């Protein structure tokens, strides 16, 4: 009997498969109806889509989707494609809400309405005409009284029953589960929502369970660098790429809600925060760096957090040239220093852009070189294949294994024979290992908090680092970077490129040479006319001063060409750098042939 029943089920499945057709779009979902039985199935049922999807798509001729395109896709790719189509189709003619109208007597619009998530969320940047304060306004769909009641009901019941992984940045499957659970609990409660109401409530639930809640818009805005909350009742502040530190219209008015939010951030990072352990340093699923405090014991205004956003497309040396952080010639000097194995440290204060500059410099590493990076939180992004990315690990409990610090990773890295070793900020015993590696000829790059060469030496020689001065001579080049004001705007500049030349035999002081210096009065960079690196290359390669100067100009022109062309993507930049290493002449020829035209097209850009 059991075998017969199975046979009947198999026959029914085959009949169903032949009978299925794509019939409609409902609630952001593609619905498939069986012509024989009348049964409907959802293509958001991913397991079923994997089994039957291709056959369904073959019968979708004449529907809204392009079946030939869909047939060639893998199931997950197909789902993403169809979901985007569903978004547009479902919300066509279903405007979720009207954006609030501004009082023009009170507000001046600096940046007009920008869509962050189509039909759902927007932002705009305003200036108060009376106080002159700049405000980052977050605009999200308003909920009616009934919608708010349903939202609160669903949030409460789903919090107890939800099955999603909050520690992953890939929310496709989690979003499907959330949507399906939302439908299930609505059905159980006998509630039916129209499309706009369903979508508005789903937006807030997905932000809460899968995203960053009240700061979702800021986290999705590509112009944001930092998002920070100083406590209860204080507006959240953001660091905007153009407007720098500005307040938002988002506030945590309730102490309990802020505590809950900080705990959720900790959970998303796979860590724990409490009154017993009120300070947290962690990495969020998208790679952003989180620092948070819990309660009022150590931050008297209440729980706080700062998120330094992770940039998926990292800034390159071309970006830094466009930002005027340095000149093309300085970038060419750094390129040459990387190729010829100079050891380097990028030094500066907090938020001066040290890691960004170090990452951009690392793109100059020859393509086949073996690289090992060692960091507390993942920030380096390199285009190289032969790259081992090392991360420290904290011990989380009795059965979670031992903690792995930077020193342990450094010792392990040195046994793997890297050609280039890149260390995040040095501040402890790992610094000794870094300088010992430099002394043996290992090409090493790192960052450090200090604002001058003298400050670096002082910090290295004193506790807790305690490096002997003789080891400091293994460092070849220091890049001093700072936040500065140019024309009343805060920006970043490399103030000095300084070579460590040697040690005075009498005074024992470190002898240094400033190769490039920033002139704040004119906001330009000046070459000193002398470089130890050039002398080293001339001795090694048998080149003349004119040939070295020509090489600097060639590389500067290639970088200048990329800047004028707008080629800032790190993969594009890496491709050109790799081509230069293979055969520089055609790259330089092409760059110079196009530069004259590009300069005419962009007279505003002076590089």
Domains along the chain? 2-91 (no CATH), 317-599 (3.40.50.300)
Q: Residues 292, 280: contact at Cβ < 8 Å? A: yes
- CA–CA separation, 75 vs 63, rounded Å? 19
Q: What is the DSSP letter of 393?
A: B
The predicted pLDDT at position 233 comes to 96
CA dist 414 and 422 (Å) reads: 12
- In the three-class reduction of DSSP (H, G, I as helix; E, B as strand; rest coil), residue 309 is classed as coil
Residue 345 makes CB contacts below 8 A (sequence gap 6+) with: 445, 446, 447, 448, 456, 475, 477, 478, 479
Whether pLDDT at 44 is above 70: no
Is the pLDDT at 596 greater than 50? The verdict is yes
Sheet holding 304-308, edge to edge: 107-117, 121-128, 134-139, 244-251, 235-240, 224-229, 304-308, 289-293, 279-283
| Residue (of 379, 370, 329) closest to 518 by Cα position | 329
Q: How high is the pLDDT of residue 286?
A: 85
The pTM for the full model equals 0.75
- Which pLDDT tens digit goes with each residue over 325-383? 999 999 999 999 999 999 999 999 988 999 999 999 999 999 999 999 999 888 899 99
Can you tell me the mean pLDDT for 95-123? 86
Mean pLDDT along residues 210-220:
93
Nearest-angstrom CA–CA distance, 227 and 236: 7
Provide mean pLDDT across the span 294-317: 92
Q: What's residue 606's pLDDT?
A: 86
Rounded to 10°, the helix 195-210/172-188 angle is 130
Confidence of residue 401 (pLDDT cuts 50, 70, 90): low
Q: What is the 3-state secondary structure (H, E, C) of 421-454?
A: EEEEECCCCHHHHHHHHHHCCCEEEEEEECCCHH
- The confidence band for 40, taking pLDDT boundaries of 50, 70 and 90, is low
d(CA 78, CA 177): 17
Measured distance CA(9)–CA(260) in Å, rounded: 49
- Strand-strand pairing, 134-139 and 121-128: antiparallel
Residue whose structure tokens are 């109401």:
197
Helical (H) or strand (E) element with 341: none
pLDDT for 41? 53
Tokens of 175: 């979003």
Q: Could you give the strand order of the β-sheet that contains 524-527, starting from the edge strand earlier in sequence? A: 387-391, 371-375, 420-425, 443-449, 344-348, 477-486, 489-503, 510-519, 524-527
In angstroms, the CA 363 to CA 72 distance is 35
Closest CA relative to residue 560, chosen from 332, 273, 338: 332
State how far the alpha carbon of 337 is from the alpha carbons of 321, 343, 364, 453, 538, in Å. 17, 8, 9, 18, 13
Q: Which residue has the higher pLDDT, 160 or 295?
A: 295
Residues in the chain: 607
Local confidence band at 469 (pLDDT 50, 70, 90 cut-offs) = very high
Closest to 180 (Cα-Cα) out of 52, 41, 334, 344? 41
Q: Which of 546, 515, 552 is nearest to 336 (CA)?
A: 552
Residue 567 has what pLDDT?
A: 94
- Phi and psi dihedrals of 490, rounded to 5? -80, 130
Mean pLDDT across the chain:
85
Per the structure block, which two tokens stand in for 474?
Answer: 């293994």
| 135-163: average pLDDT | 91
Q: Tell me 491's DSSP state.
A: E
**Is the pLDDT reported for residue 50 higher than 50?**
no
Distance between CA atoms of residues 166 and 36, nearest Å: 41
**Residue 37 — pLDDT band, cuts 50, 70, 90?**
low
Residue 54 has a pLDDT of 42
Least confident of 100-104, 305-309, 310-314, 455-459: 310-314
Q: pLDDT value at position 220?
A: 92
pLDDT of 71 above 80 = no
Integer Cα distance of 272 and 262 in angstroms: 10
pLDDT of amino acid 67: 46
Euclidean distance between CA atoms 524 and 123, whole angstroms = 35
Q: Based on the number of CB atoms within 10 Å of its own CB, is 256 exposed (0-12), middle (13-18) or buried (19 or more)?
A: exposed
Q: Quick one: what percent of the chain has pLDDT higher than 90?
A: 63
Instruction: Please give the average per-residue pLDDT across 183-200, as a whole number.
Output: 88
- Percent of the chain as helix, strand, coil, to the nearest 5: 40, 25, 35
Provide the pLDDT for residue 565: 95
Residue tagged 């090694």 (tokens): 540
User: Which of 156-160, 214-218, 254-258 is the least confident region?
Assistant: 156-160
């Amino acid at each position: 009997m059991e075998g017969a029943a199975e046979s009947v089920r198999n026959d029914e499945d085959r009949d169903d498969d032949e009978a299925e057709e794509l019939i409609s779009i409902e609630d952001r979902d593609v619905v498939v109806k069986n012509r024989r039985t009348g049964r409907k199935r959802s293509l958001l049922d991913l397991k079923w889509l994997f089994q039957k999807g291709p056959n369904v798509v073959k019968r979708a001729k004449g529907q809204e989707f392009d079946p030939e395109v869909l047939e060639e896709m893998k199931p997950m790719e197909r789902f993403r494609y169809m979901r985007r189509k569903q978004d547009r189709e479902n919300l066509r003619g279903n405007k979720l809400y009207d954006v609030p109208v501004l009082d023009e007597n009170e507000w001046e619009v600096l940046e007009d309405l920008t869509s962050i998530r189509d039909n759902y969320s927007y932002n705009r940047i305003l200036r108060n005409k009376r106080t002159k304060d700049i405000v980052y306004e977050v605009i999200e769909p308003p909920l009616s009284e009934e919608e708010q009641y349903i939202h609160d009901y669903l949030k409460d019941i789903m919090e107890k029953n939800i099955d999603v992984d909050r520690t992953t940045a890939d929310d496709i499957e989690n979003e499907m589960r959330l949507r399906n659970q939302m439908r299930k609990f609505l059905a159980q409660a006998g509630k039916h929502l129209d499309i706009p109401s369903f979508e508005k409530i789903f937006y807030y639930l997905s932000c809460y369970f899968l995203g960053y809640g009240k700061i979702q818009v800021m986290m999705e805005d590509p112009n944001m660098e930092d998002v920070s909350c100083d406590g209860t009742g204080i507006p959240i502040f953001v660091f905007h790429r153009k407007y720098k530190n500005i307040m938002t219209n988002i506030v945590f008015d309730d102490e309990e809600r802020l505590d809950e939010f900080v705990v959720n951030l900790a959970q998303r990072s796979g860590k724990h925060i409490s009154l017993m352990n009120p300070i947290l340093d962690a990495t969020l699923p998208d790679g952003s760096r989180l620092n948070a405090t819990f309660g009022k014991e150590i931050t008297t205004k209440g729980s706080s957090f700062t998120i330094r956003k992770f940039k998926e497309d990292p800034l390159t040396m071309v970006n830094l040239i466009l930002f005027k952080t340095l000149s093309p010639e300085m970038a060419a000097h750094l390129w040459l220093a990387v190729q010829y194995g100079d050891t380097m440290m990028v030094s500066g204060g907090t938020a001066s852009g040290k890691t960004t500059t170090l990452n951009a410099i690392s793109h100059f590493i020859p393509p086949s070189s073996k690289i090992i990076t060692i960091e507390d939180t993942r920030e380096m992004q390199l285009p190289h294949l032969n790259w081992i990315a090392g991360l420290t690990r904290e011990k989380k409990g009795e059965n979670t294994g031992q903690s792995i610090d930077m020193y342990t990773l450094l010792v392990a890295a040195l046994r793997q024979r890297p050609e280039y070793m890149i260390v995040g900020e040095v501040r402890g015993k790992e610094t000794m290992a870094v300088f010992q590696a430099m002394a043996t000829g290992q090409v090493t790059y790192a960052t450090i908090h200090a604002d001058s060469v003298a400050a670096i030496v002082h910090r290295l020689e004193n506790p807790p680092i305690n490096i002997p001065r003789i080891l400091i001579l293994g460092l070849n080049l220091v890049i001093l970077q700072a936040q500065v004001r140019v024309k009343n705007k805060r920006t970043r500049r490399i103030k000095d490129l300084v070579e460590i030349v040697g040690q005075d035999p009498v005074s024992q002081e470190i002898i240094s040479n400033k190769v490039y210096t920033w002139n704040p009065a004119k906001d330009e960079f000046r070459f000193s006319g002398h470089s130890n690196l050039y002398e080293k290359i001339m001795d090694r390669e048998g080149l003349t001063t004119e040939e070295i100067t020509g090489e600097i100009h060639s590389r500067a022109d290639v970088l200048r060409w990329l800047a004028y062309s707008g080629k800032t993507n790190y993969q594009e930049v890496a491709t050109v750098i790799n081509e230069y290493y293979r055969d520089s002449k055609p790259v330089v020829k092409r760059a110079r042939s196009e530069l004259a035209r590009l300069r005419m097209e962009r007279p505003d850009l002076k590089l």
